[in-house]
Chain A
């Protein structure tokens, strides 16, 4: 109970919980659509939309958070993460500005706003943010893989010559690369969590922008997985990927 309260007292904790609820509703609607009662589907849709609208209150003012994150990422030591994260956070700043404009339209404070245009802009900048975050993740993964290979080479485990021929050697190489990737991610859980989160999240703007259309089930599942990953980083702060 105490852990739940400490978790729920943080804005990010509550927001992630509501996000998980929102995408669970989307997933359930997709799964139950063929068989369930219209009433149940209507209730799921209403819960999804009211949680989605309510979550905007959690995002108001996050422009400042994104500006601060941009400032922090400028001081990253490595060049590639510095470049990727700074640009990613700048895109996040623009995304939050678009989101605030959409909120102003939603509550009826300004009527002359073109909702579709601003929604597209928000989706585009969110997409660039996720793309750049994934680029940084891939760079970090390649570094980890190089490190693992180097450690294995130092340990004296040299790969012996393959006596069975070229085609089997190709398959072995592919398997070895995959195992190397798996090992690299296993020894760096925050990197694995961040990669999974960004990969699942990118499905949303890909669908919104029409680049790669999926269905509500895939988006719901992706959103739910990324929300759970986000909840883990709030409950266990050491699991959050550091800027450094």
Chain B
């Protein structure tokens, strides 16, 4: 009981719970539609989903300020690439929340002349840019960690076996004059890179969580902007998975990727 009280005392936690519920409704609605459930039940699920969506917009009022503060903090990061990616991501998030606030004003009747379609497209565009920046940051972190891991492996191999010619980077011996051995060579190199990637991600759960979350989230704006129509089922599933993962980072703060 105590943990629920502490958890629900954070407004972000409640918003994430509503998000998970909203995408669960979307997924459920799609599943019910495919199985030919009663139109009454489908309408109830749709109504709950739209209530959740509007409720979340209210819960998010004021998140622009939070995103701007995060952008201000990110400007002081030492690494140039991280500084750029994280700052631009937060700025796009701030703009996304600002568009979301305009949509709330329109839906709640305060500004009835708001063009819902235009502002929805605008908000998803900023959301997409923010996710692309997040994924770029993740790719950069992965690259750094893979380089570190690979040079650590090389050092260990050199230390134990007196050195392996070529090392992991070049993937073993292979001369320029052997085109017949090119493709298997490439396949081996690719396999080694994949294994290295898996090792890096297994050793850094916050990074793995962040990559999966951003990748799942990416499907939402891609579908809504018409760039990659995946259907409501996939969008619902991806939204639900990413909401659960972000709830995990709220329950276990060590799972959150820093900075």
A contact residues vs B (CB 8 Å cutoff): 1-2, 4-5, 8-14, 18, 42-43, 46-47, 50-51, 53-54, 56-58, 60-61, 64-65, 67-68, 106-109
A-B pairs with CB below 8 Å: how many?
84
- Residue contact A54 to B55, C-beta cutoff 8 Å: yes
The reply to whether A12 and B59 contact each other, CB–CB distance below 8 Å, is no
Does residue B2 face the partner (Cβ distance < 8 Å to A)? yes
Question: What are the 5 A-B residue pairs with the smallest beta carbon separation, nearest first?
Answer: A54-B58, A50-B108, A46-B109, A57-B55, A108-B47
- Residue in chain A with minimal CB distance to B15: A57
Which A residues are CB-close (under 8 A) to B51?
106-108
Of A5, A43, A64, A67, the residue contacting B66 (CB under 8 A) is A5
* Given contacts A2-B69, A50-B58, A51-B58, A65 and B14 within 8 Å (CB-CB): no
- List, in ascending order, chain B residues with CB within 8 A of A51's CB: 58
Pair A54/B69 contact, Cβ less than 8 Å: no
* Secondary structure type dominating chain A contacts: helix
Docked-complex contact B48 and A107, CB < 8 angstroms? yes
CB distance from B53 to the nearest CB of A (A): 11
Cβ contact of A11, chosen from B8, B69, B110, cutoff 8 A: B8
Contact B5 A108 (CB under 8 A): no
Contact B48 A54 (CB under 8 A): no
Query: Chain A contacts of B55 at CB under 8 A?
Result: 53-54, 56-57
Specify which of A4, A56, A57 is in contact with B65 (CB 8 Å cutoff): A4
Complex contacts, A13 vs chain B, CB 8 Å:
11
Residue pairs across A and B with Cβ atoms less than 8 A apart, 21 shown, are A1-B69, A4-B62, A5-B65, A8-B65, A9-B12, A11-B10, A43-B109, A46-B108, A46-B110, A50-B109, A57-B18, A57-B59, A58-B59, A64-B1, A64-B4, A64-B8, A67-B1, A106-B51, A108-B44, A108-B48, A109-B44
